[in-house]
A and B are shown apart, each in its own frame.
Chain A
């Protein structure tokens, strides 16, 4: 059974719309993260949460808002979507926040 679930697997959106990317982890971890992988660029850290509190935010745009309704959930809301937001978005988690990070399968987002 997958331990980190990301939904949807693929997402096509129009410019200007809003989408929510879902992430749930069943590893019992206390820390969760979002990363983005765009073509020809390294995987890029976006946010980290520990015990549902924001620890680090490296995303310049306020259009990206993480939402943690439960300890094992960290969703990512993206508003006013732009074609440059097209990327694969990976959720990750770790036990303590200072150890191995495990990655989900990713959500591939295409903004037209």
Chain B
């Protein structure tokens, strides 16, 4: 099964509204990274998390390693927030590989 399950798979948001994305892990994640992939394909870092929360502007993310999930909240969505959001679990391994979810495609409508 999926080691990193992201939900929802797609989301359409009115500009100015709020939403939340979620990742559930079936592997022992010790860290989480969130990325935004823009329509040109570039992957932009949003957050690197150990268990806890972080906030950056209109984005807020939380990671609960005991309950094996992470969330990303988007507040006051803007058109430039459109793209595909990926979460990735990091494990305490020698290579520190990231295991990615399939992504949530977000479209912000004017």
Q: How many residues of B contact A (CB 8 A)?
A: 21
A42 adjacent to B94 (CB under 8 Å): no
Which of A12-20, A70-78, A94-102 has 4 or more CB atoms under 8 Å from chain B?
A94-102
Secondary structure type dominating chain A contacts: strand
Which of B10-18, B40-48, B66-74 has 4 or more CB atoms under 8 Å from chain A?
B40-48
Which residues from B are CB-within-8-Å of A44? 100
Q: How many residues of A contact B (CB 8 A)?
A: 27
A58 adjacent to B33 (CB under 8 Å): no
A102 adjacent to B45 (CB under 8 Å): yes
With an 8 A cutoff between CB atoms, is B86 at the interface? yes
Which residues from B are CB-within-8-Å of A25? none
Which residues from B are CB-within-8-Å of A99? 48
Which residues from A are CB-within-8-Å of B42? 103, 105-106
A42 adjacent to B96 (CB under 8 Å): no
Chain A stretch 18-67: residues in CB contact (< 8 A) with chain B: 31, 33, 35, 41-45, 47-48, 55-58
User: How many contacts between A and B, using CB within 8 angstroms?
Assistant: 61
A94 to B43, CA, bound (A): 14
A100 adjacent to B48 (CB under 8 Å): yes
B45 adjacent to A43 (CB under 8 Å): no
Q: A56-B93, A94-B96, A100-B48 are in contact. Are A42 and B103 (CB under 8 A)?
A: yes
Which residues from A are CB-within-8-Å of B99? 42, 45
With an 8 A cutoff between CB atoms, is A86 at the interface? no
Q: A55-B94, A100-B33 are in contact. Are A42 and B41 (CB under 8 A)?
A: no
A101 adjacent to B95 (CB under 8 Å): no
A88 adjacent to B94 (CB under 8 Å): no
Binding site for B on A (CB under 8 A): 31, 33, 35, 41-45, 47-48, 55-58, 88, 90, 94, 97-103, 105-106, 108
